[in-house]
């Protein structure tokens, strides 16, 4: 497979500006503020505790807050923080927002990527009007077992059709600089091949099949400009996605050329000990750093353990800085 690079179609000046801004902000950040950018939390509202955490720089992104007044309050708190770094505000906007389209499997059945792209542009505008700027979509899990319960969220069994729809989805979501919705293709990779169709179950997939079936839709999404990606919950050939260096570094970054932000699935880092690959939460946080996972969704392990890990090994500070720098770049490129 040829190499791919993300953040396509943007003016080089925007890249230079994003790099300069990110470097400048990173140089001013405390350790606590850096760790905060890696911390994503979910609440239904802008509680006093959450507003306080955002204002203190301990939270870099939130999800599932949908009331625009609440989102405005959180962004205001971020703006009043020491460095004024805006929040990523995420939501599963899967097949429309306020106005619904068919489920993704139904969209694939239209064989009409132009209409899918057009609808995603409308969806992005609707979500951005509420303050949401990031969606955990499209789901690009090629699935050939109808027993799998999440098959409706993807585009079916065909890698080529899934790739076509992936490009249309991302282009539509990110079509307008002012009203774009940051796309996050998921779940890298092979989640739809869960053994016996059981959700979260293990997967055993050869490298040839990964590159011929499960990677091409993600490559298409990156070609279309996707700047974030989510690894799978399930283990891929014995190693869970959120702690899988071979999957996230060797394949995703080195061979597919992805250069954006990796966000874990819900509490996926906290599940690494359950998978038996980490002794405890501290080791799970270390595995996440080593694999290059930028944002910890809802496990709180980075918030609890990264400062200690940095104190124990200076190399972890270099890893932390690299992750924070990429988060800041994406925030700037997304126009936040």
| Catalytic machinery residues | 265
Which structure tokens are listed for 295?
């944002």
Q: Which ranges constitute the DSSP H helices of 198-313?
A: 207-209, 216-223, 245, 272-275, 281-291, 301-312
Within the chain, what is the greatest distance between any pair of CA atoms? Answer: 54
Q: Could you tell me which residues come within 8 angstroms of residue 44 by beta carbon, excluding any fewer than 6 positions away?
A: 64, 65
Nearest Cα residue to 141 out of 151, 131, 132, 149: 151
C-alpha count within 13 angstroms, C-beta hemisphere, residue 125: 10
Compute the distance between CA of residue 268 and CA of residue 116 in angstroms, rounded to an integer.
30
Q: Which residues contact 115 (CB under 8 A, 6 or more apart)?
A: none
In this structure, which long-range contacts are made by residues 256-259, counting pairs with CB atoms below 8 Å and at least 24 apart in sequence? 256/1, 256/3, 256/4, 256/215, 256/218, 256/219, 256/222, 257/3, 257/4, 257/5, 257/6, 257/222, 258/4, 258/5, 258/6, 258/218, 258/222, 258/229, 259/5, 259/6, 259/7, 259/326
Residues whose CB is less than 8 angstroms from the CB of residue 208 and which lie 6 or more positions away in sequence, other chains included: none
For residue 257 the two structure tokens come to: 């050329």
- Assess contact for 301 and 288: CB atoms under 8 A: yes
């Amino acid at each position: 497979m040829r190499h791919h690079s993300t953040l396509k179609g943007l003016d080089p000046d925007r890249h230079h500006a994003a790099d300069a801004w990110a470097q400048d902000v990173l140089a001013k950040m405390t350790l606590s503020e850096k760790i905060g950018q890696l911390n994503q939390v979910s609440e239904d509202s802008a509680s006093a505790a959450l507003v306080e955490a955002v204002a203190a720089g301990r939270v870099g992104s939130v999800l599932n807050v949908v009331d625009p007044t609440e989102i405005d309050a959180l962004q205001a708190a971020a703006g009043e923080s020491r460095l004024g770094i805006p929040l990523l505000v995420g939501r599963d906007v899967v097949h429309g927002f306020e106005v619904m389209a068919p489920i993704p499997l139904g969209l694939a059945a239209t064989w009409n990527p132009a209409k899918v792209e057009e609808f995603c542009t409308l969806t992005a505008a609707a979500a951005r009007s509420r303050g949401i700027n990031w969606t955990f979509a499209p789901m690009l899990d090629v699935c050939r077992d109808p027993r799998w319960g999440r098959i409706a969220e993807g585009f079916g069994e065909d890698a080529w059709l899934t790739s076509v729809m992936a490009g249309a989805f991302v282009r539509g979501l990110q079509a307008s600089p002012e009203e774009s919705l940051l796309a996050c293709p998921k779940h890298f990779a092979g989640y739809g091949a869960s053994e016996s169709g059981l959700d979260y179950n293990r997967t055993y997939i050869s490298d040839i099949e990964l590159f011929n079936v499960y990677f091409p839709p993600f490559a298409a999404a990156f070609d279309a400009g996707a700047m974030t990606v989510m690894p799978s919950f399930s283990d891929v050939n014995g190693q869970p996605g959120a702690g899988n260096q071979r999957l996230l570094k060797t394949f995703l970054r080195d061979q597919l050329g992805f250069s954006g932000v990796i966000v874990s699935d819900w509490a996926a880092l906290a599940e690494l000990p359950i998978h038996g690959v980490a002794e405890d939460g501290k080791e799970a946080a270390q595995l996440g750093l080593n694999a290059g996972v930028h944002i910890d969704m809802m496990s709180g392990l980075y918030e609890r353990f990264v400062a200690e890990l940095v104190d124990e090994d200076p190399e972890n500070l270099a890893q932390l800085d690299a992750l924070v720098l990429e988060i800041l770049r994406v925030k700037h490129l997304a126009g936040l």
